[in-house]
Amino acid sequence: MPQEHTGASIAPEHVTVLAGPTAVGKGTVSTYIRDHCPDVWLSVSATTRAPRPGEQEGVHYFFVDDDEFQRMVDEGQMLEWAVVHNRSRYGTPRQKVLDAVAAGRRVLLEIDLAGARQVRQSMPEAQLVFLAPPTWEELVARLTGRGTESPEEQQVRLETAKMELAAEPEFDHTVVNDQVETAAQRLVELMGLDPRTCA
């Protein structure tokens, strides 16, 4: 169970969670923010999987073994965590987020729906932003257009996306990902920053 955060109060815009349905473009929007918005600190997840070519420790992920990950979970050091594809574990280290907030940074967590719900429990002062597609048809086109899944896998993901879209009322704000740059600027504005600082 996530532990309750008992530290100093955090303003809602200091920690922002970005979540949404599969294929909506969460990673694309957060990468744009990381590359163009220096005032935003993008949280780095810990994972038990091995590094892929080009991935750097502390930049893309913190790479830990199963024992270390379990220790962090047991000691309440994870804001949220999950097992992905029944294999590797991913999680958000709590202290890294608190350190960034203490340094005056605006923090962005790009995680899945289950992770967003865990953050709501363990850090209720964080604001949750739902990234939505312009239309259902556009989401279907994005998912099927990738060509990375079989028709059966695509159907499963579409059914999952329907359930994920139904969770939108749980969030504080919704941003429509019609264009990546525009969506990123809307998100940055919700974080209490001037979107014009995203060069």
* Statement: residue 75 has pLDDT above 70: yes
Query: Is residue 4 domain-resident?
Result: no
| E strand or H helix at 90 | strand 88-93
Pick from 17-21, 81-85, 87-91, 138-142: least confident: 81-85
Q: Phi and psi dihedrals of 103, rounded to 5?
A: -85, 5
pLDDT for position 2? 40
- The pTM of this model reads 0.85
Query: Is residue 114 domain-resident?
Result: yes
Query: Is residue 121 domain-resident?
Result: yes
pLDDT for position 186? 95
pLDDT digits (tens, 9 = 90+) for 85-123: 668 899 999 999 999 999 999 999 999 898 999 999 989
Sequence-separated (6 or more) residues with CB below 8 Å from residue 118: 2, 79, 80, 81
* Statement: residue 29 has pLDDT above 50: yes
Query: Is residue 1 domain-resident?
Result: no
> What number of other Cβ atoms are within 10 A of residue 39's Cβ?
15
pLDDT for position 13? 63
Q: How many domains does the chain have?
A: 1
Residues 106 and 29: beta-carbon distance below 8 Å: no
Query: Is residue 6 domain-resident?
Result: no
Structural domain for 22, as ranges: 12-197
pLDDT for position 83? 85
> What number of other Cβ atoms are within 10 A of residue 103's Cβ?
9
CATH number of residue 75's parent domain:
3.40.50.300
Which parts are annotated binding residues for ATP?
20-27
Query: Is residue 67 domain-resident?
Result: yes
Which parts are annotated binding residues?
20-27
Report the C-alpha gap between 130 and 26 in whole angstroms: 10
Query: Is residue 183 domain-resident?
Result: yes
pLDDT digits (tens, 9 = 90+) for 145-186: 766 678 888 888 888 889 999 999 999 999 999 999 999 999
Query: Is residue 148 domain-resident?
Result: yes
Q: How far is CA 139 from CA 68, 72, 124, 134, in A?
A: 37, 36, 29, 8
Radius of gyration of the chain (CA): 17
